[in-house]
Amino acid sequence: MTITTSPAPIRNGIDTAQVYGTLDVLKAQPEAARFEFRVRNSWIDGTHSRSTIHGFWGAGAEDASRTEPFVVDASEPPVLFGHNEAPNPAEYLLHALAGCLTLTIVNVAAARKVELYEVSATLTGVLDARGATGIDPAYRNGFERIDVSFSIRGDASPEKLAEVVERAKARSVVYDMVANGVPVAVTTDVR
Amino acid sequence: MTITTSPAPIRNGIDTAQVYGTLDVLKAQPEAARFEFRVRNSWIDGTHSRSTIHGFWGAGAEDASRTEPFVVDASEPPVLFGHNEAPNPAEYLLHALAGCLTLTIVNVAAARKVELYEVSATLTGVLDARGATGIDPAYRNGFERIDVSFSIRGDASPEKLAEVVERAKARSVVYDMVANGVPVAVTTDVR
């Protein structure tokens, strides 16, 4: 007799059993839902700085899963007074938005039993530098708008795939922050 | 006879002559002020995706200064269903904010003839995951707030250094976007 076991509930690389277990924990222990993420940044020279990203608080404990910190630089191209040491901060904001929408699409699809074959996106942000340079206050400093163009393939109907994207927009952490803004408090220790 | 030339106007690693020249160009040719930045992102597996950052439009032309693209990954730690392949998108948003505030501080200081010795920052963002998981609509998806704590040293009075930080807040591209939000349009090609 052959016993056929169900495949492990991994879909799109997401462990759906872990996802449902986590949701149960968050419902039973709301204090586990608090997350605090941290970045430490140090200026190097000119437009060039470096962030170190390591620990965070989440699920009721200080995370210990990262044995080494992530190190990520930012700078500017020559036309914006840097030397192309790294992507610029506005490009990192687009990267943050892309990464968050994409992983939220993948999580939503996994929960809805949709297998994805491809998720790719092009993001563009347009700004008028008369804002940030202070030349003309009629222009804002940041992007006037951001356009995100997704290309998605999966084993569901076009309607269902489009629904997955809409749901991901409604649940994405970074989409919420970029689209709606976040209160930012800056304090300075001057020595 | 010895002719003493002024030192090259490089301050804090910023070529201040280039900065003033650029401001003159933007005033005379407003069409040069339009910048378009772009990120292409592709899903790899699970929460893991990869952005390619290369060309951009700015100063009246498609930039040709970057011979190779920047490649930047994003993912999640295990508690958020990933495998720590890279920082997560919310951490990248903090990195974008840190990098932009820091380089704007450096630019403003250079213009005001302030030599900086140190600019470092710690950023924290707090969220309640009951928002993004859809468990409780009373919570937003993103950070409730972001705290930025700068430590700055330079050859100016504490008052002047504090003014530089205030001016940088008022001129930072990413601070504006994070604090005030940006319209985001998402379109999807489903195949």
Helix extents (H) in A35-155: 89-111
Res. B38: pLDDT tops 80: yes
Q: Tell me how close the Cα of A2 comes to any Cα of chain B, in angstroms.
A: 32
> pTM, whole model, 2 decimals?
0.96
Dump pLDDT digits (tens) for B137-147.
Answer: 999 999 999 99
Average pLDDT, chain B: 95
Secondary structure tally for chain B: helices H, strands E: 4, 10
pLDDT confidence band for B191 (50 / 70 / 90): confident
Q: What is the ipTM metric for this complex?
A: 0.96
With the C-alpha atoms ordered A97, A101, A104, A110, is the resulting torsion angle positive or negative? negative
Q: Tell me how close the Cα of A7 comes to any Cα of chain B, in angstroms.
A: 17
Res. B18: pLDDT tops 70: yes
Touching B: A residues 93-112, CB under 8 Å: 93-107
**Cα–Cα dist B182/A181, whole Å:** 8
Touching B: A residues 133-152, CB under 8 Å: 133-136, 139-152
Whether residue A169 contacts residue A101, with contact meaning beta carbons closer than 8 Å, is answered with: yes
**Chains A–B, number of C-beta pairs less than 8 Å apart:** 483
Token pair of A179 as six digits: 């689209």
Q: One-letter amino acid identity for B169?
A: K
Average pLDDT over residues B100-107: 98
Q: One-letter amino acid identity for A11?
A: R
Q: What are the E-state strand segments in chain A?
A: 10-11, 14-15, 34-45, 48-53, 56-58, 61-62, 70-74, 116-128, 145-154, 184-190
Average pLDDT over residues A119-148: 97
**CB-CB: which of B30, B101, B181 is closest to A130?**
B30
Q: Give the CA angle between residues B152, B123, A81 to the nearest 5°.
A: 60
Whether residue A98 contacts residue A178, with contact meaning beta carbons closer than 8 Å, is answered with: no
CB contact under 8 A, A119 and B42: yes
pLDDT confidence band for B88 (50 / 70 / 90): very high
